[in-house]
């Protein structure tokens, strides 16, 4: 299979702003760490398939702005697209990459998942639900229940991200 590549880029706008804009009606943020999944079409030609933003906030990372390039997938060989989906999908693989790459930089990852398809992928990638609607977490460091609950309440208090 032609390979997928995962990397952080200095500006997500250069690679994913068009499909982010189509999905969310706004441009990509300038802040945070911009993670992109690329599909290698041929030597030297890469197609961005998925984007997600990892934003450091105190001792956690806020994961948001995830979007898949639906129009771009039309250019992926159908057999390759089926294989990508069978392996969890581009978003799943990009999340797993991000969790590994940023594992030592935070106590937990937090996300907000209002989309049911994204939520399923988030859970498969290692997030767990919290008592707050849409707020999900993946703890990285050992914490007792009181510490976990305090951190969840703190992040819930900042509102949507």
Q: pLDDT digit string (tens) for 10-49? A: 999 999 999 999 999 999 999 999 999 999 998 899 999 9
Q: Dump pLDDT digits (tens) for 92-123.
A: 999 999 999 999 999 999 999 988 899 999 99
Q: Dump pLDDT digits (tens) for 125-139.
A: 999 999 999 999 999
> Please, is 31 exposed, middle or buried when counting C-beta atoms within 10 Å of its C-beta (0-12, 13-18, 19+)?
exposed
Task: Evaluate if pTM is beyond 0.85.
Answer: yes
pLDDT reported for residue 1? 47
CB half-sphere exposure, 115, CA atoms < 13 A: 12
What the block records as the tokens of 25 is 């009606």
Number of domains within the chain? 1
pLDDT reported for residue 2? 63
Q: Which domain holds residue 61?
A: 4-157
Q: Dump pLDDT digits (tens) for 43-96.
A: 899 999 999 999 999 999 999 999 999 999 999 989 999 999 999 999 999 999
The conformation of residue 158, written as its DSSP 8-state character, comes to T
Strands (E), 58-114: 60-68, 108-112
| Domain CATH code at residue 74 | 3.40.630.30
C-alpha 51/C-alpha 36 separation (Å) is: 5
């Amino acid at each position: 299979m032609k390979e997928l590549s995962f990397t952080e880029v200095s500006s997500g706008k250069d690679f994913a702003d068009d499909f982010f804009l189509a999905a969310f009606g706004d441009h990509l943020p300038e802040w945070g760490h911009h993670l992109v999944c690329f599909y290698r079409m041929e030597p030297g030609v890469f197609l961005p398939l998925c984007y997600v933003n990892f934003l450091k906030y105190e001792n956690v990372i806020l994961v948001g702005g995830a979007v898949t390039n639906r129009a771009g997938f039309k250019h992926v060989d159908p057999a390759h697209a089926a294989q990508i989906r069978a392996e969890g999908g581009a978003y799943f693989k990009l999340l797993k990459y991000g969790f590994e790459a940023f594992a030592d930089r935070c106590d937990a990852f937090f996300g907000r998942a209002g989309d049911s398809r994204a939520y399923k992928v988030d859970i498969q990638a290692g997030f767990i639900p919290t008592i707050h609607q849409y707020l999900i977490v993946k703890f990285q460091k050992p914490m007792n229940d009181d510490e976990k609950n305090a951190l969840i309440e703190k992040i819930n208090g900042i509102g949507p991200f």
